[in-house]
Amino acid sequence: MIWGGAAAVLALWWRNTASVVGAADWITGAGRITGLLAGYACAVLLALMARVPAVDRAIGTDRLTRWHAAGGRYTVCLVLAHTLLIIWGYALAAGSGLVDETTTVVLRYPEMLKATAASLLLVATGVLSARAARRRMRYETWHYLHFATYLAIFMAFGHQLANGADFLGDPAARIAWYALYGGVAAALAWYRFLVPVRRCLRHRLRVAEVRPEAPGVVSVYLTGRNLGELRAAPGQFLRWRFLAPGLWWAANPYSLSAPADPDWLRITVKEAGAHSAALASLSPGTRVLAEGPYGGLTAARARTGKALLLAGGVGITPLRALFETLPGEVTLIYRAHRPQDLVLREEIDAIAAARGARVHYTVGEPGPHSIPLTARALRRLVPDLAERDVFLCGPPGMTAAALRALRGAGVPRGRVHHESFAF
């Protein structure tokens, strides 16, 4: 669908271009094409993050986020190319210098001051979203700075219709562009704002208890009203906003670490920053706002009657819920740095005994319980591994190593289901 939309945008340029003659026309035409694609890409970027439930469940939040990140890089490049090519083409046509033409375009064309500010905002957001920059700032800071994208796209929209040659004399194209942006804006308003507010008023979540599970790991139990209406599937996560000092302004993603109950929910969180560390001191009765459920790491992804759950560290949380509910033959491999980091172990052992499932614990420290994450080791533990679905969740390094091992063990790519939380 995304590529089909891009083809339609190119067809719009073709339809409204009678001929291309000379260097100025070629360069200006390239500027028009990159401008149309940049405008279309902005709408796609917002649509990917609209959190439409059907799309989120079918594709997965982490994959949508990766598409959004890759699309953001392409969009910034298209915006820069559009700016340079249009000014260059106009300068050639007018016989003026690049500096003079830049001044003319920015100061005399309608909506161009806002478009210039929007371009600068998009480039700045792209720079801050680069991996090297993100590592130097808190997740919450980056998340709110990222909202500058909304402002930039809003500021640039008027410029597209006021100056775009493909819209000025084509009412059908203008209507289609309004419909594209209007549909995306409606999805964002509904799924990102109105639905979460409605659900918060409906369910009235509160913290019931905070229970230590391991060094630096706590489980937060939450109660509320009509929680069954959330329809949260095992393996999914919600974005939690705790209305406590220092926490109310951030909404972070945490998976449900037990199947949702009509009367209570539970998340299990490892200290990995200021926000997650503060959860250990939450007081019972603290109000909670929750958005979701999100994510596609659910039983609906399974294609066979047998599964391997491969967890690393606190990545056990969504897999613990799946371990209890996933139908068929299930084996769990749970990796951690130290034996004391194997959280929820008593629950896992009880579930394994109740359903007759196998559990393998492995720790990073040298010793008899240390199992290398290789294709040979995995096949030794699970001889029929290539015939199973694999549900994977853990830190980025462990996940990358596991994916290589699973490919080496002959597990088809379509039967490896994983979700990261690097968003």
Distance (Å, rounded) from C-alpha 153 to C-alpha 352? 51
Among 4, 332, 327, smallest CA distance to 180 is for 4
Which of helix, strand or coil describes residue 37? helix
Q: What is the pLDDT of residue 219?
A: 93
pLDDT of 423 reads: 47
Instruction: Give, as one character, the DSSP assignment of residue 50.
Output: S
- 344 DSSP assignment: T
Instruction: For residue 342, give the nearest of 316, 308, 318 by alpha carbon.
Output: 316
Is the domain spanning 204-294 CATH 3.10.105.10? The answer is no
Q: What is the CA radius of gyration of the chain?
A: 25
In angstroms, the CA 120 to CA 107 distance is: 16
Q: What is the pLDDT of residue 81?
A: 94
Block mean pLDDT (10 aa), the chain, length 423: 92 86 90 93 92 82 85 92 92 89 87 88 80 66 75 87 82 91 94 86 92 90 90 90 84 89 92 82 91 86 90 90 92 88 91 92 68 86 91 88 91 86 53
Q: Which among 247, 253, 248, 317 has a CA at the least distance from the CA of 280?
A: 247
Contact by Cβ (8 Å): 294, 239: yes
Domain 299-418 class, CATH top level: alpha beta
